[in-house]
Amino acid sequence: MITKVNHIGIAVKDLDAAVKTLKDVFGLEAAGTQEVESQKVKVAFVPLGDTRIELLQPTSEDSAVAKFLVSRGEGMHHIALETDDVAGDLKKAEEGGARLIDKEPRPGAHGTMVGFVHPKSTFGVLLELVEETGKHSS
Ligand code: CO
């Protein structure tokens, strides 16, 4: 079941500069950075009440985020919805007619399992389904 917005993803060219900007402009502190190999990105999570901002910088030119930056520039990249069953909700989305990027969950940041739904199915907004598995590594 999907219960809330887990985070909002913003694609950036320079992660360190973006972290510094959020701190300088809004006083928001990032909770460390991490590389997510399965998505070829470096991410920084900025906790914000019950949710977080996820800043994403590509680590490879063939990263989906690198392609996004080329075609759209920096900006909002995805919204992540929290679920207790990412595999089940991916299946449900597909049965409901959505086009999936991930048919099966894959590892996300901080010990989560994630799956993406294609923005063509969801009003131009890339949706990430994320399941907290309780195996937080940082
Ligand atoms: Co995300």
Q: What's the CA-to-centroid distance between 79 and ligand 1, angstroms?
A: 7
Q: Which of 66, 54, 63 is nearest to 10 (CA)?
A: 54
User: Does some domain include residue 137?
Assistant: no
User: Does some domain include residue 104?
Assistant: yes
Range of the domain at 99: 2-131
Q: What's the CA-to-centroid distance between 9 and ligand 1, angstroms?
A: 5
For position 33, which CATH number holds? 3.10.180.10
Q: What's the CA-to-centroid distance between 33 and ligand 1, angstroms?
A: 13
Collect all residues with Cβ–Cβ distance below 8 Å to 78 and sequence separation of at least 6: 8, 9, 116, 125, 126, 127, 128
Q: What's the CA-to-centroid distance between 44 and ligand 1, angstroms?
A: 10
What local confidence, expressed as pLDDT, does residue 49 receive? Answer: 93
pLDDT in tens, 11-63: 999 999 999 999 999 999 999 899 988 889 999 999 999 999 999 999 999 99
User: Does some domain include residue 18?
Assistant: yes
Q: Is the confidence at residue 137, as pLDDT, over 70? A: no
In single-letter form, the type of residue at position 90 comes to L
User: Does some domain include residue 138?
Assistant: no
pLDDT in tens, 67-124: 999 999 999 999 999 999 999 999 999 999 999 999 999 998 888 999 999 999 999 9
Q: Is the confidence at residue 135, as pLDDT, over 60? A: no
C-alpha 100: how far from its chain's center? 15
Q: What's the CA-to-centroid distance between 16 and ligand 1, angstroms?
A: 18
How many structural domains compose the chain? Answer: 1
Neighbours of 129 (CB within 10 A): 28
- More reliable by pLDDT, 77 or 133: 77
User: Does some domain include residue 47?
Assistant: yes
User: Does some domain include residue 136?
Assistant: no
Q: What's the CA-to-centroid distance between 67 and ligand 1, angstroms?
A: 16
User: Does some domain include residue 34?
Assistant: yes
Q: Is the confidence at residue 136, as pLDDT, over 80? A: no
Q: What's the CA-to-centroid distance between 39 and ligand 1, angstroms?
A: 10
The tokens describing 122, both together, are: 């969801």
